[in-house]
Amino acid sequence: MTLEIPSKALANGVTIPYLGLGVYKMTDRDVAIQAMRKALEFGYRAIDTAALYHNETEVGEAISSSGIAREDIFVTTKVWNTDQGYDETLRAFETSLKKLGLDYIDLYLTHWPVEDKFVETYRAIERLYEEKLIRVTGVSNHHIHHLEKIFAKANVQPMVNQVELHPYLTQEALREFCNSNNIAVTAWSPLGRGGILQDEIILQIAKEVQRTPAQVILRWHYQQDIISIPKSVTPSRIEENAQIFDFELSSQQMMQLSQLNRDQRFGQNPDNFKFDF
């Protein structure tokens, strides 16, 4: 039996599953395909990749060999920083499409707001949307000031902003801004790269609800209307991370988790992104 993962309606009515598989650092071909196949078999219907992850080909293979209809799977990919600008983004999109072996992508994102380029990058994403090559427009790692610059030029506002978000980095102001502009928020590193799973409060709540720390955190995201894309290649964890739709956290537990915020990033701050990998 496959699990039913609920979906969220975006600004244009297209729906995105609340939970998808993140595939960053899945560079070993067999491991990557196996993890994605496992996730799809279990009921995942969304995969989050990027040109940077060097596994778009594997994503395409996992999808085409899954036996699941293309239109039932929500595929996200992203234009990398060195490919930004209007024409460059259109070209990068073509490359991603080819590698994925698809004829459209569900959601295409600006990976990081490269200064002096991200507005033009988004204009190209708008064009891809107008040409129906993507179903949803979006950005990633955009602060409020980046979004405001885009709003000034865009005909179609971004429908998704994918940002680092977890109990140690709750991003209240950005989320409120996105909410009031009908931009859905996706949490990357929703588990804080695994670095918050030993937190005492999280462990205590996990005990109270008889779930794992990862499930508690992912449920906390879901109850706040946040889409999340945890990464794992371990079959048991891939299953565990999706089993969050059959229990509830109390408002007290939700508050305790939100109060863990310490504005701590495990990744980079979009305002001073550095290539260090």
Nearer to ligand NAD among residue 67 and residue 246 (C-beta) = 246
Q: What angle do CA 45, 194, 114 make, to 5 degrees?
A: 75
Residue 216 one-letter amino acid: V
Q: Which stretch binds ligand NAD (CB under 6 A): 80-88, 129-137, 171-179, 184-192?
A: 184-192
Instruction: Considering only residues 33 through 92, tell me which ones interact with ligand NAD, judged by CB under 6 A.
Output: 48
* Pattern 92-131, ligand NAD, x by CB under 6 A: -------------------x--------------------
Residue among 103, 53, 41, 58 nearest 79 (CA)? 53
Nearer to ligand NAD among residue 127 and residue 237 (C-beta) = 237
| Binding residue for ligand NAD, selected from 96, 161, 171, 241, defined by CB under 6 A | 241
Residue 96 Cα distances to 68, 90, 107, 200, angstroms: 21, 10, 12, 42
Catalytic one of 18, 44, 53, 129: 53
Catalytic, 129? Answer: no
Residue 235 in contact with ligand NAD, rule: CB under 6 A: no
Q: Would you give the distance in Å from CA 106 to the centre of its chain?
A: 12
* Pattern 256-275, ligand NAD, x by CB under 6 A: -----------x--------
Beta carbon of residue 25, minimum distance to ligand NAD (angstroms, whole number)? 7
Please give the Cα distance from 99 to 22 (Å, whole number).
Answer: 18
The secondary structure of 48-93 as a DSSP string is E--GGGT-HHHHHHHHHTT-S-GGGSEEEEEE-GGG-SHHHHHHHH
Please give the Cα distance from 61 to 29 (Å, whole number).
Answer: 10
Q: What angle do CA 177, 179, 182 make, to 5 degrees?
A: 110
| Binding residue for ligand NAD, selected from 122, 129, 168, 188, defined by CB under 6 A | 188
With H, G, I as helix, E, B as strand and everything else as coil, classify residue 29: helix
Please give the Cα distance from 30 to 42 (Å, whole number).
Answer: 18
* Pattern 203-222, ligand NAD, x by CB under 6 A: -----------x--------
Q: Which stretch binds ligand NAD (CB under 6 A): 129-137, 176-184, 229-237, 245-253?
A: 229-237
Q: Which stretch binds ligand NAD (CB under 6 A): 153-161, 174-182, 186-194, 248-256?
A: 186-194
Give the footprint of ligand NAD on this chain (CB under 6 A). Answer: 22-24, 48, 111, 140-141, 162, 188-194, 197, 214, 229-232, 237, 240-241, 267
